[in-house]
């Protein structure tokens, strides 16, 4: 079953999860709240049929948790355990935010996003800039992989051991092609009326559904509980 969420709910999720990961969990009850909040986006990924990434995140997160609780302790010594502690702490701490962001980026269409921003009365300038950023990520990825291919073909992957050359070889073509694409892209967009004084409209009709209200409620309650248990009790 696919749960169709409103982009506003998704933005709210990102915001809440980002706040939560910035606060450390110290007691078991805080950990439980945090784990629940991590598994919500994982379940959402499953409903989107992204099984492989859901399972990968799940395994990574559980492994980090198990190691933190049962293998590592304050008495842990040695370089290996030190590194492991670092990795596990980072994963346990920040993976929830990464999973949520991943879910949102993978499942939000640009027109939905722009429509949501308009409903929240964001200025068009901010909406369009953010939309362009969203549009550009996959392009950069695509361009970068072409450049990597070209470098492998010429056998200059390591730039002759020269770090500056290595960066130069990667960045120069990437910058040039991104600038070119950006240039052509904006030319194409303004010939179709982007940036006019007219208020943009949108065919996407957004409505908060039951799932949206439920999730927002769950996240508000979880955040409230987290803050209460951490700072008040």
Query: Which spans of this chain sit near other proteins (rule: CB under 8 A)?
Result: 51-52, 55-56, 59, 109-111, 131, 134-135, 138, 142-143, 146-147, 149-156, 168-169, 172-173, 176-177, 180-181, 184-203, 205
Smaller CB separation from other proteins, 49 or 74: 49
Tell the smallest beta-carbon distance from residue 211 to other proteins (Å): 21
**DSSP assignment string, 19-46:** HHHTS---SHHHHHHHHHHHHHHHHHHH
The DSSP letter of residue 205 is P
Tell the smallest beta-carbon distance from residue 182 to other proteins (Å): 8
> Which structure tokens are listed for 101?
């962001």
Smaller CB separation from other proteins, 150 or 228: 150
Contacts of 52 (CB under 8 A, 6+ apart): none
> Which structure tokens are listed for 214?
């439920």
Smaller CB separation from other proteins, 51 or 213: 51
Provide the sign of the torsion angle of the four alpha carbons 143, 145, 147, 150, taken in this order. Answer: negative
The DSSP letter of residue 198 is S
Smaller CB separation from other proteins, 7 or 30: 7
Tell the smallest beta-carbon distance from residue 199 to other proteins (Å): 5
Smaller CB separation from other proteins, 69 or 148: 148
Contacts of 152 (CB under 8 A, 6+ apart): none
Tell the smallest beta-carbon distance from residue 93 to other proteins (Å): 23
Tell the smallest beta-carbon distance from residue 197 to other proteins (Å): 7
Tell the smallest beta-carbon distance from residue 193 to other proteins (Å): 3
Measured distance CA(139)–CA(65) in Å, rounded: 35
Q: Do the Cβ atoms of 96 and 17 come closer than 8 Å?
A: yes
Smaller CB separation from other proteins, 130 or 218: 130
């Amino acid at each position: 079953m696919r749960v169709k969420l409103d982009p506003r709910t998704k933005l709210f999720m990102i915001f809440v999860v980002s706040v939560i990961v910035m606060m450390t969990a110290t007691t078991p009850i805080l950990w439980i709240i945090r784990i629940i909040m991590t598994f919500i986006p994982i379940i959402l990924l499953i409903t989107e049929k992204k099984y492989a990434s859901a399972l990968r995140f799940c395994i990574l997160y559980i492994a980090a948790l198990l190691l933190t609780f049962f293998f590592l302790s304050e008495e842990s010594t040695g370089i290996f355990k030190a590194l492991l502690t670092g990795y596990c702490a980072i994963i346990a701490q920040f993976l929830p935010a990464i999973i949520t962001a991943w879910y949102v980026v993978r499942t939000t269409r640009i027109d939905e996003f722009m429509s949501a921003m308009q409903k929240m009365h964001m200025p068009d300038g901010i909406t369009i800039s953010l939309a362009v950023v969203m549009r550009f990520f996959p392009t950069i990825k695509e361009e970068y992989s072409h450049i990597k291919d070209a470098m492998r073909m010429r056998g200059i992957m390591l730039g002759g051991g020269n770090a500056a050359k290595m960066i130069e070889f990667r960045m120069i073509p990437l910058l040039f092609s991104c600038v070119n694409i950006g240039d052509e892209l904006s030319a194409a967009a303004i010939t179709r009326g982007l940036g006019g004084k007219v208020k943009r409209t949108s065919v996407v009709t957004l409505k908060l559904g039951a799932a949206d209200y439920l999730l927002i409620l769950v996240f508000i309650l979880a955040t409230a509980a987290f803050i209460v248990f951490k700072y008040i009790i």
